[in-house]
Chains A and B, each alone.
Chain A
Amino acid sequence: MPNSPADRPCRISVQRRGPLLVEGPVEVELEDGSTVTSDRFRVALCTCRRSRRYPWCDTSHRERS
């Protein structure tokens, strides 16, 4: 799927609890300078830092009982 058209900015949905939702495809540059890509229509980026598949969300932010 094509990325967001040039006439509008890339939309990112934020939530206090949960990942950033970004319109895909995306390329993410990590701290060590390497890049990872995802071409999904939407991409969930981890914000809790607990993901075992960082930078992608793996639902590790969920509350545990």
Chain B
Amino acid sequence: MFRGYPARMAHDPHGPQLPAARGPVSAAVRGYLAGSDALPAARTVAAASAYGDDLQLALYLCYELHYRGFAGVAPEREWDPDLLRVRAALEHRFLTALREDTPLHDSVEDGLAELLVEPVEGTGVSHFLAAEGELWQVREYAVQRSLYHLKEADPHAWVLPRLWGRAKAAMAAVEFDEWGGGRPERVHARLFADLMTDLDLDTTYGRYLDAGCAETLATVNLMSLFGLHRSLRGALVGHFAAVEITSSPGSRRLAQAMRRVAAGPAAEHFYDEHVEADAVHEQVVRHDVIGGLLDEEPHLAPDITFGLDATGYLEDRLAARLLAAWRAGETSLRTPLPDREKSHIS
């Protein structure tokens, strides 16, 4: 018998702490998770900037309930209809902005072809870190990326029941590889935690959510958005292809950056592993995941292109933010790390 929403819910005793609010929307969502009755009003959501800290954190809070939740928050909030209604409004703002702002390729083939050409003089974050990155910048980069890498490949798992045949088999095989091929010590999220240990960072899941800038939150929210909606399965596949295709050369430069600052063997290994793994993954994703999906559902081609290009758009925004801060000698983080560099040198 359906009794409606349970009046008393057990709270998750462990898990990440709720982060600090970044404006009225995230304050209301945070308050609701902490036990208040008030959710943000529609006009408050409408007034927030689509890519800004406030809206992106509010969306991140909603999505995190599908991963590990938060300490003290009832796990049933994941399917709270009132909260889902707010999440839908936040997603609408984010997705509408992305559809308006993302420059799109004419076809999946064009989008892939451009990603497969390697610029001789790249200007991205990995180029910067490989050529002139300092230890504090490498540590900040790891903090920003920890929001994704500590749950690496998890957002993409949601697409599996929405695929079948060749696309499903290939996607599952790549995910299996991401999760260590059955060996817990090789799960990529674990390898990233080992990298963080080398860099003297806290490996606790969710520890650096307060530190992550809005541009980082947006890159992770994009994966959750695409993963959680069957209607966006084409975009998820396009997004995954963009990540895998750009990862191998980018990881080579990041491995160089790790060596440059003498980060340690686990830090080097994380990126070395990605050079090799993603050289395989990008082949499998292009030929079998995208190829298989297009064979079954050719009408999804524009969504695949959108996923490819929206990923590039948000990654470029993040790169601009990080490089602007670092070139000015400033932190890219919302909550700076305690200065521990001296202990490394001595």
Contact = CB atoms under 8 A, between A and B. Distances in A.
Nearest to A21: B283
Given A57-B279, A59-B248, A63-B118, 16 more contacts: A1-B181, A19-B279, A21-B280, A21-B284, A40-B181, A41-B181, A44-B279, A52-B252, A53-B276, A56-B279, A58-B275, A58-B276, A58-B279, A59-B249, A62-B118, A64-B118
Main secondary structure of the interface of B (DSSP, over half): helix
A29 interface: no
Contacts of B275: 53, 58-59
Contacts, number: 62
A60 to B, nearest CB: 8
B256 to A, nearest CB: 11
Interface in B209-255: 248-249, 252
A35 interface: no
Contact of A63 (B117, B181, B280): B117
Contacts of A39: 181
Interface in A18-65: 18-19, 21, 38-44, 52-53, 56-59, 62-65
A56 B27 CA distance: 49
Closest 9 CB pairs of A and B: A59-B248, A57-B279, A44-B280, A62-B118, A41-B173, A65-B117, A63-B117, A64-B118, A59-B279
29 contacts: A1-B181, A18-B283, A19-B283, A21-B280, A39-B181, A40-B181, A40-B280, A42-B173, A42-B280, A43-B280, A44-B279, A44-B280, A44-B283, A53-B272, A53-B275, A56-B276, A57-B279, A58-B252, A58-B275, A59-B275, A59-B279, A62-B116, A62-B118, A63-B116, A64-B117, A64-B120, A65-B117, A65-B119, A65-B120
Nearest to B247: A59
Contacts of A19: 279, 283
A42 B249 CA distance: 19
A54 B118 CA distance: 19
Nearest to A41: B173
Interface in B239-294: 248-249, 252, 272, 275-277, 279-280, 282-284, 287
A57 B278 CA distance: 10
A40 to B, nearest CB: 6
B134 interface: no
A59 B248 CA distance: 7
Given A63-B116, A65-B119, A42 B284 contact: yes
Contacts of A1: 176, 181
A49 B275 CA distance: 16
A53 B252 CA distance: 10
Contacts of B152: none
Contacts of B248: 58-59
B282 A59 contact: yes
Interface in B79-121: 116-120
A48 to B, nearest CB: 12
A24 B282 CA distance: 16
Contacts of A58: 248, 252, 275-276, 279
B12 interface: no
A16 B282 CA distance: 16
Nearest to A22: B280
A10 to B, nearest CB: 16
B90 to A, nearest CB: 36
B188 to A, nearest CB: 13
A32 to B, nearest CB: 21
